[in-house]
Structure 1
Amino acid sequence: MNTAKPLIFVTGTDTEIGKTFVSRSIIRALVAKNKRVAGLKPIASDAQRVQGVLQNEDALELQKASNLELSYEQVNPICFEPAIAPHIAADLVGQQLNGDVLTTNLVVPEEADCVIIEGAGGWLTPLNQQETYADWVESQGFEVILVVGMKLGCLNHAMLTVRDIERRGLKLVGWVANFAQGEMNKAEDNLHWLKQNIPAPCLGIVPFQESPDCADKVAELLDISALT
């Protein structure tokens, strides 16, 4: 995809580690720098029907955080009702899911200065029996931000993801440590190791948040200089 504006893909070390919360915070931090920002979620599962139309809560949060007028379909063109892996959800409804479908459905607003694209699940989430989400990101040449869910096992998960991003020749512009599940034993030791071993800047350390309505507050904790 040929575009001069930054297209940044936000992935995570696992599912349920706060990709949406961090994506929202990044969007709000960029907006605070007077950037025109669009938040997109190409694929979403776990959706509810609103006036007969499937909508996902995470996608709605990205739509709300953006400072461009985006329709829900622009933010989240591919949406499934059950809270299961996207390729399984697609099979259940007889829908084709692959990189070409994602590319066709991705609408990048011309007026955006930066586009934050949130993935689904972890880095290697399948699109079908042959392709992964990472394959599509590689084909598009997106820059990548990694959200590290700070919990037992995160060092291994983080480095497996980082190594695959590197293998694909993609640029890891930064990573965020997110304590989505609360306190972690020996947190400082784990953070120190990650900072020494991930070859990209730490954009921020996000403590556990009691409420998801803290994106603007958390945005102040992020160093987005690598993105602007």
Structure 2
Amino acid sequence: MKKGYFITGTDTNVGKTWTTIALMRYFKKQGQSVVGMKPVASGCLLTNRILKNEDALLIQENASLPVDYELINPYAYEAPVSPHIAGADNPVQLDKIVGSFNRLKKLADIVLVEGAGGWLSPINATEDVSDLAKALNLPVIIVVAIKLGCINQAKLTDRAVRWSNLSCVGWIATCTDPDLLNREETILAVKAALDAPLLGVLPYSARADFDELSANISGDLNKN
């Protein structure tokens, strides 16, 4: 049976894309084929007359097999603002994303779907990231950027995911602040606050080494 996971974060710029690609490398090492999606993306650049997102291109590059860009990123917006603003003239329709996901899950063992912003970030005038996750009906992995304020953000996100009646299979810590004091204590505090297991701690890196990052994923997701 095909598996998939929805990757959400405690905020914008918490390391969701690096985590998604690290997970892709992790599943490849387990001998499974994997593809990824970033269904909604702002701040895209025009490439060969097509708007493309840098993060979505990285996800495309790390797939186990060639996948058309439009399946990975059905909604690409040029303006670097919230999708509900950037996409006012071409709003996100969940049915289109679900259709792309259904095509992708026929191609690989694992499909990883990266959300936009945080769990309640709007993606159109009436729906947010949580509605997208519910439409896909995927178990959730939370990315927590380890920084000042992250304990509150992690607890709020975890509770919001559970209120959405979706399964949270775990969380991954991303060390985005190289100068943070008491990093280990902060990770332990988040670990104690969440019921979901800690799946890995991704160390700070100025440039991504995705094989190294994937080696820091210690949870066994194949059991989920």
Contact 1:46 1:56 in 2 (8 A): yes
Of stretches 46-55 and 127-136 in structure 1, the one that deviates more from structure 2 is 127-136
Match of 2:218 in 1: 223
Tell me, in whole angstroms, the C-alpha distance in 2 between the residues paired with 1:103 and 1:127: 14
**Where does structure 1 lack aligned partners over 5 or more consecutive residues?**
none
Q: Provide Cα deviations, 1:13-42, integer angstroms capped at 9, x if missing partner.
A: 010111000100000011111100001111
Q: How many residues align?
A: 222
Give the CA deviation at 1:224: 4.2
Match of 1:147 among 139, 143, 146: 143
Partner amino acid, structure 1, of 2:188: H
**Is 2:94 the counterpart of 1:69?**
no
Q: Provide Cα deviations, 1:164-215, integer angstroms capped at 9, x if missing partner.
A: 1111111111111101232322112211111112111111111110212x01
Identity fraction in percent: 34
Partner amino acid, structure 1, of 2:30: K
**Where does structure 2 lack aligned partners over 5 or more consecutive residues?**
none
Match of 1:195 in 2: 191
Match of 2:37 among 30, 35, 40: 40
Within 5 Å, which residues of 2 pair with 1:13-24?
13-24=10-21
Q: Provide Cα deviations, 1:103-141, integer angstroms capped at 9, x if missing partner.
A: 244332413111100111111111223211102212332
**Is 2:186 the counterpart of 1:174?**
no
Contact 1:30 1:224 in 2 (8 A): no
TM-score (norm 2): 0.94
Tell me, in whole angstroms, the C-alpha distance in 2 between the residues paired with 1:7 and 1:49: 30
Partner amino acid, structure 2, of 1:125: S
Match of 2:206 in 1: 210
Change (3 A) 1:53 1:109: same
Match of 1:95 among 90, 94, 117: 90
TM-score (norm 1): 0.92
Question: What is the RMSD computed on CA atoms of the aligned residues?
Answer: 1.4
